[in-house]
Structure 1
Amino acid sequence: MNHLPQIPAPQMRVPATYMRGGTSKGVFFRLEDLPEAARVPGPARDALLMRVIGSPDPYGKHTDGMGGATSSTSKVVIIARSSVPDHDVDYLYGQVPINDAFIDWSGNCGNLSSAVGPFAIANGLVDPAKVPRDGICTVRIWQANINKTIVAHVPVANGEVQETGDFELDGVTFPAAEIQLEFLDPAAEDDDGGGAMFPTGNPVDELEVPGVGTFKATLINAGVPMVFVEAAALGYDGTELQPAINEDPAALAKLEAIRAAGAVRMGLVERIEDAARRPLTPKVAFVAPPKDYVSSSGKPVKADEIALLARAISMGKLHHAMMGTASVAIATAAAVPGTLVNAAAGGGSRDAVRFGHPSGTLRVGAEVRQVDGEWTVTRAVMSRSARVLMEGAVRVPDGIF
C-alpha cells in the first residue's frame, strides 16, 4: 500500500508590532488580532507567545524567535480597548523566561509602559476625538497584571504619534521624543483590595536567608515588589557593571537566594522553592551612597550628580540599566525616612531622586504620605521614550496549541 507523505503544517501569520519602550523592547499585539484560542488566558496563549519569542531555548540565544535572549528583550504585550471605566486601553504584560517553558504574568514592565500609549493611538484603540493634531495626547492605561492606572502623555504631530526628538535616556543609544508617565497609586494590593506598601510594616527588616546569612532589607510594594539590600553587605560599592555580577555564578546564586527569601517574607510565595516559578517578582536590588564611576557606555557619572547608586537584578541577571517599575520603587523608598534606600541617599525627605545605574542616571519623582502610621505612595512620575521598530506580522508554526 502506498502512503502519501505527511504535509508539514504551514505557518500562521499574527499581526504584531515590534517596539522599544524605555530600555526594553517587546512584541505588541492587539487582543483582537490573536488567534481565537489565545484571546483568553491559558495554555494556548502561553504556547503561542513563547513560540513568538523563541522560548524555551536551551541554547539561550532566541535564534528562532523575536526575543533577544535578555530579560529586557524577552517580553510580550497584549493591548485591548479598556474594560474599565475612565480608561482608554487595557495593557497586559508577559515576561518570557529564556530557558523555561512558562510566562510570568505577575507584574508590570515600567519601560514598556511607555510604548503602550503610542501603540494604542497608532492602532485606533484611543478615541480619535482625544487625539490632537499637534500637542499631547493623554492616554489612560489600565495595567491589567496589577490592576493599576498609568497615565501616558504622548506627543502628537500632524495627527500621528511623534517618535523622533531630542530626549536622551541613558541605556538607549539614540534620542527620541519624550513620553511622561504617571503611575497612580502604585503600591501593590492583595486580592482583597488591601495590602501595605511595606508588607511587614517596617522600613527595614532583618532578612534571614537560609545558607547565606542575615541581611538588613527594605521590603516594599511600589511599582513592583522589591527587596533592597545594602551593597556593602554583599561586598560591593554600588558602581558594579554587568560583567562583575553576571559572570559570577556565586554572586547570582546569593542574590537569587535573597530574592527568594524576600518573596516568602513579603507573602508572595509560601516556600522558598516556589520563588523559582515567579522569577519576575519580587525583584532584588542593592543600593549605596553616591560615588564616581564610569557607565557601561564609557560616560563618567559624578557622585555630585546623583543621590545614590542602585543596581537591580532582573530574571536572574544584573539589568543593563534600571527597570521602570524598580525605578518607581527606588523613588518611593528614597522618599520614606528609615529605608535603606533613603539612608543611601543621605536621609531626609524628598519628592524626587536621581540615581546612578549601570548605563547612567535616571530621575524619578514620587509623592508619599503617612496615614494612620502607614506609608502610601499616591503617584510616581518618570520620563521615557518609545519607538516602533517593525510592524506587520509574526509567523509561528500552525498547530502549536
Structure 2
Amino acid sequence: MTATQTYAPQVKIPATYMRGGTSKGVFFRLTDLPEAAQVPGAARDKLFMRVIGSPDAYGAHIDGMGGATSSTSKCVILSKSSQPDHDVDYLYGQVSIDKAFVDWSGNCGNLSTGAGAFALHAGLVDPSRIPQNGMCEVRIWQANIGKTIIAHVPVTNGEVQETGDFELDGVTFPAAEIVLEFMNPSEDGEGSMFPTGNLVDELEVEGVEGITTLKATMISAGIPTVFVNAEDIGYTGTELRETINTDPAALAKFEAIRIAGALRMGLIKDPSEAATRQHTPKIAFVAKPKDYVASSGKEIKANDVDLLVRALSMGKLHHAMMGTAAVAIGTAAAIPGTLVNLAAGGASASGEGRQAVRFGHPSGTLRVGAEARQVNGEWTVTKAIMSRSARILMEGWVRVPGDSF
C-alpha cells in the first residue's frame, strides 16, 4: 500500500449463525442491518454476497461464512411482523456460490425452523406469548412467498430449548424437535397448485441426448417443483450426491429438465432467465421403495419408506432434502394420480389420497404430512406438517469491508 492509498475498514454487523433442519445460514434482525441494506436492492444483495463469500470462482467460500453448498449459502432477515396475527416477518435469500446474485424467489423450509427459534432468541415475539415452560407457537409470515408458517418451539425456563433427543437424518447430532406447519402452501389462484392444469404432463426437454419428452408432475406447493420418474432418466432413486454431482452430463441433463419445467410452469419466459432463477423450480426424481445405504452408512430397507426421492438445489443433488421440497412431496403424495403418489403406491383404499408419507433421501428418511382435498374440481392443500430442529452455532458480529455494499 502506498502512502496515498486508503482502504475502507471493516464494519461489524450483529448476526447469528444458525443451523435449521439440514441447512445453515446467517440470521439478521432487520434493524441491525446497515441502513442501505434495510431495504431491498443492490446494497442488500452485495452485503449478503460478501457475508457468504460470493461470487467465488474457487467454489470454496474461504473468505466468507458460506459452506460452498446450496444448503449453507443462505441469509435470513427477521423483523416484527407487518401482518396481523403474526409475530415475525421472515425473508430468505439464497446466495449463489459462483455468480453475483441473490435469489429471493422462494423459501427455505429448513431455515423456517431457525426462523421460529431465532424470533424468540432475538426478542421479536411478545413476551406475554412465551411460556416459562412449554411450547411457544411462533406465527411466521414468509415474506418471499406471502405464506404463513407456524413453528412450535419448545421453551424451558423462558429460553428456547435447543438440546434434545430428536434425530434428523442429515444432521449429525440430536436436538430438540420443532414442528412446522406450512399453512395453505400452494400458490394462490385457480389451478395454481398445478400450473399446467394437469397432474401429469408430457414435458418436452431440449438439448438432452436420448430424451425428448418426459412424464412430469409440476406442482407449486411449498416451492415450485418438477417431479420426474427416476427410471425415465436412467436412475434407480437410490443415488447419493457423488453419483450425480461428479457427473457434468447428469447435471446438464437435470438443468435442461428444470428449464423445461420452469417454462411450462410460467416461471420464466425465456431459457436465459433460468440462470438468474437458480433457486426455483426444484427438480426431483422419484422411485418405488428399494433397499439402499444412506450417505451415513445407515441401511434403509424398502419397507422403511413409502417411496424414494432425490432432489437438486442450485444445480447440485441435495445431501438430504430441502424442507420446501418435502412440502411439495407430501402434497403431491396426497393427491391420487401424481407421479409422487404413484411411486408411493397410489391412492389410499378410500381413494382419498395419503395424509402422510415417509420417503427415502440420500441421508436417510423423512416423514411429511399434508391435508389435501378437492373443491369444485381443483385440488387444494390446507397445510403440510414436518418436524425439524434448530440450534445456534455462533452469535456476535459478522464483519465485511465497509466499501463492499
TM over 0.5, shorter chain: yes
What one-letter code is carried by the residue in structure 1 that aligns with 2:301?
A: K
Which one of the candidate residues 199, 206, 212 is aligned to 1:210?
A: 206
TM-score (norm 2): 0.97
Secondary structure in structure 1 of the residue aligned to 2:118: helix
Separation of aligned partners in 1, 2:191 and 2:398: 40
Separation of aligned partners in 2, 1:277 and 1:51: 18
What one-letter code is carried by the residue in structure 2 that aligns with 1:353?
A: V
Which one of the candidate residues 363, 368, 376 is aligned to 1:364?
A: 368
Q: CA deviation at 1:4?
A: 4.3
The corresponding residue for 1:27 is 26
Q: CA deviation at 1:90?
A: 0.2
Q: CA deviation at 1:211?
A: 2.2
Residue 282 (str. 1) matches residue 286 (str. 2): no
Residue 130 (str. 1) matches residue 129 (str. 2): yes
Separation of aligned partners in 1, 2:11 and 2:219: 43
Q: CA deviation at 1:9?
A: 1.1
The corresponding residue for 1:115 is 114
Q: CA RMSD in A?
A: 0.9
Separation of aligned partners in 2, 1:253 and 1:314: 13
The corresponding residue for 2:238 is 239
Separation of aligned partners in 1, 2:223 and 2:311: 12
The corresponding residue for 1:352 is 356
Q: CA deviation at 1:195?
A: 5.5
Secondary structure in structure 2 of the residue aligned to 1:72: helix
Contact kept? 1:30, 1:80, Cα under 8 Å = yes
Which one of the candidate residues 375, 380, 390 is aligned to 1:376?
A: 380
Instruction: Among all aligned residue pairs of Structure 1 and Structure 2, give the percentage whose two residues are the same amino acid.
Output: 73
Separation of aligned partners in 2, 1:108 and 1:233: 29
What one-letter code is carried by the residue in structure 1 that aligns with 2:223?
A: V
Q: CA deviation at 1:7?
A: 2.6
The corresponding residue for 2:262 is 263
Q: CA deviation at 1:5?
A: 2.6
- CA deviation string 1:375-394 (max 9, x = no partner): 01110000000000000000
Separation of aligned partners in 2, 1:129 and 1:383: 25
What one-letter code is carried by the residue in structure 1 that aligns with 2:227?
A: F
Runs (5+) with no aligned partner, structure 2: 348-352
The corresponding residue for 2:44 is 45
TM-score (norm 1): 0.98
Secondary structure in structure 1 of the residue aligned to 2:186: coil
What one-letter code is carried by the residue in structure 2 that aligns with 1:356?
A: G
- CA deviation string 1:192-214 (max 9, x = no partner): x5561001110000000112221
Q: How does 1:18-97 map to 2 (within 5 A)?
A: 18-97=17-96
- CA deviation string 1:43-93 (max 9, x = no partner): 000011100000000000000000000000000000000000000000000
Q: Which runs of 4+ in 1 moved over 2 A?
A: 3-7
Specify whether residues 389 and 238 from structure 1 end up closer, same or farther in structure 2 by C-alpha distance, changes over 3 A only: same
What one-letter code is carried by the residue in structure 1 that aligns with 2:310?
A: R
Contact kept? 1:260, 1:273, Cα under 8 Å = no
Which one of the candidate residues 386, 389, 402 is aligned to 1:385?
A: 389
Which one of the candidate residues 392, 396, 400 is aligned to 2:400?
A: 396
Q: CA deviation at 1:17?
A: 0.1
Q: CA deviation at 1:140?
A: 0.2
- CA deviation string 1:98-156 (max 9, x = no partner): 00000000000000000111111111100001111100000000000000000000000
What one-letter code is carried by the residue in structure 1 that aligns with 2:343?
A: A
Separation of aligned partners in 2, 1:400 and 1:215: 45
Contact kept? 1:121, 1:161, Cα under 8 Å = yes
Number of aligned residue pairs: 396
Which one of the candidate residues 182, 188, 192 is aligned to 1:196?
A: 192
What one-letter code is carried by the residue in structure 2 that aligns with 1:390?
A: M
The corresponding residue for 2:99 is 100
The corresponding residue for 1:164 is 163
The corresponding residue for 1:10 is 9
Q: CA deviation at 1:400?
A: 1.7
Separation of aligned partners in 2, 1:188 and 1:320: 27
- CA deviation string 1:260-311 (max 9, x = no partner): 0000000000012211110000000000000000000000001001000000
Secondary structure in structure 2 of the residue aligned to 1:390: strand
Q: How does 1:148-187 map to 2 (within 5 A)?
A: 148-187=147-186
Secondary structure in structure 1 of the residue aligned to 2:110: helix
What one-letter code is carried by the residue in structure 1 that aligns with 2:335?
A: V
Separation of aligned partners in 1, 2:261 and 2:3: 58
Separation of aligned partners in 2, 1:207 and 1:297: 35
Separation of aligned partners in 2, 1:376 and 1:331: 13
Runs (5+) with no aligned partner, structure 1: none
- CA deviation string 1:205-252 (max 9, x = no partner): 000011222100000000000000000011111000011100111011
